[in-house]
Structure 1
């Protein structure tokens, strides 16, 4: 029972981190093409806590953001494509530095490509607009991953160190 409580608490925490950082967006001028500040954090969560926890927390975050009116269906589509591609890369190739550096940008590129198909617009302008976010993700994912690994290594509960 105690392990299940920790797992539910961890998922709630990861969901809130993804949702809150996903609420902060850098507008890029095209509907649905804004950069979410959650991208590097999302890749780091997949690397540290695993793909299953990341996907569950990501889906919950998308549902919450959609129900609160902070995301529309395009935002949810972009987020889910990013999660499947970036998180899938980390799950399949492992959480090494080279994988983490490219998972976010490739996830963003895939999400923009799918958005272009959805909107029936050329993909190149969406990809060009996403480049600053891709660079930001690649530059910040490793330090964020190190911070999350440190946090995951042990948490203090009732004077005892325990891992989640």
Structure 2
């Protein structure tokens, strides 16, 4: 059982990771096709740390973005659609590698469809523009999940060593 301080610390670090990686975008060839590095990290966080920590860290990250002025309410809404979709997929279908590969692209597609509904524009062009990012997310989610799983495992070993002293 994790202590309350440990839980808060872990969620805070995860929120910081999401916030920082959300500021980095790989440019695409066309406007709107850029890839946000936080998408595959978010999938990995949900797969490794569970939905509760993932959604809490995501909400804290969005709150930080609002406070810093780097996100609008629409950005936060779309991010939450992505997060809830990814979380539901992983909770319902498990954490096998095919599910992890598909969760991010499906989350992105659902978020783009929601964005199309909000702005009243055709969702198909929004989905097509997101395709390169969806591919990058699928390709990066599994290695990031494996990396975070190793980090989480090592954290347990380090804490056990410290407690023994």
Normalised by the size of structure 2, how large is the TM-score? 0.89
Structure 2: 5+ residue stretches without partners: none
Structure 1: 5+ residue stretches without partners: none
Distance 2:19 2:82 in 1: 14
> How much is the aligned-residue C-alpha RMSD, in angstroms?
1.9
Q: Give the Å deviation of 1:98.
A: 0.9
Distance 2:119 2:26 in 1: 20
Normalised by the size of structure 1, how large is the TM-score? 0.90
1:57-136 to 2 correspondences below 5 Å:
57-136=57-136
* Partner secondary structure for residue 95 of structure 2: coil
Aligned residues: 159
Cα pair 1:46 1:91 within 8 Å, conserved? no
Report runs of 4+ in structure 1 exceeding 4 Å deviation.
Answer: none
Structure (1 or 2) with the greater helix fraction: 2
Q: Give the Å deviation of 1:23.
A: 1.5
1:14-25 to 2 correspondences below 5 Å:
14-25=14-25
Distance 1:66 1:34 in 2: 21
Residue 11, structure 1, aligned to residue 39, structure 2: no
Distance 1:86 1:53 in 2: 13
